Structure 1
Amino acid sequence: MWAMQEHHCPEQLVMKINALYLTVFTAYKVEHLINETGIIS
């Protein structure tokens, strides 16, 4: 387990960054939508 975490493949790193970006982007879009609908309502 620790050996796998210490050994960083470029593919694994890219996948982690993509997942993190998608999570942040989705959270931002959802928050933006909630704010917009809150203002309209």
Structure 2
Amino acid sequence: VLAESSLGQYVIEQEGDAIVFPNTQLPVGQRAGLVVRVKDWSEFQ
């Protein structure tokens, strides 16, 4: 489980998934999060 709230759970799909909150200056509840996953650069070429 990546995160939980009264509305439900956010479950990771793969080992190594993480959540990033780019603007931590906002109050909790108004933040947007990004789920990130490591990829091999060779997959992009």
Q: TM tier, shorter chain?
A: under 0.3
- TM-score w.r.t. length of structure 2: 0.21
Pick the structure with more strand per residue.
2
More relative contact order, 1 or 2 (CA 8 Å, 6+ apart)? 2
Pick the structure with more helix per residue.
1
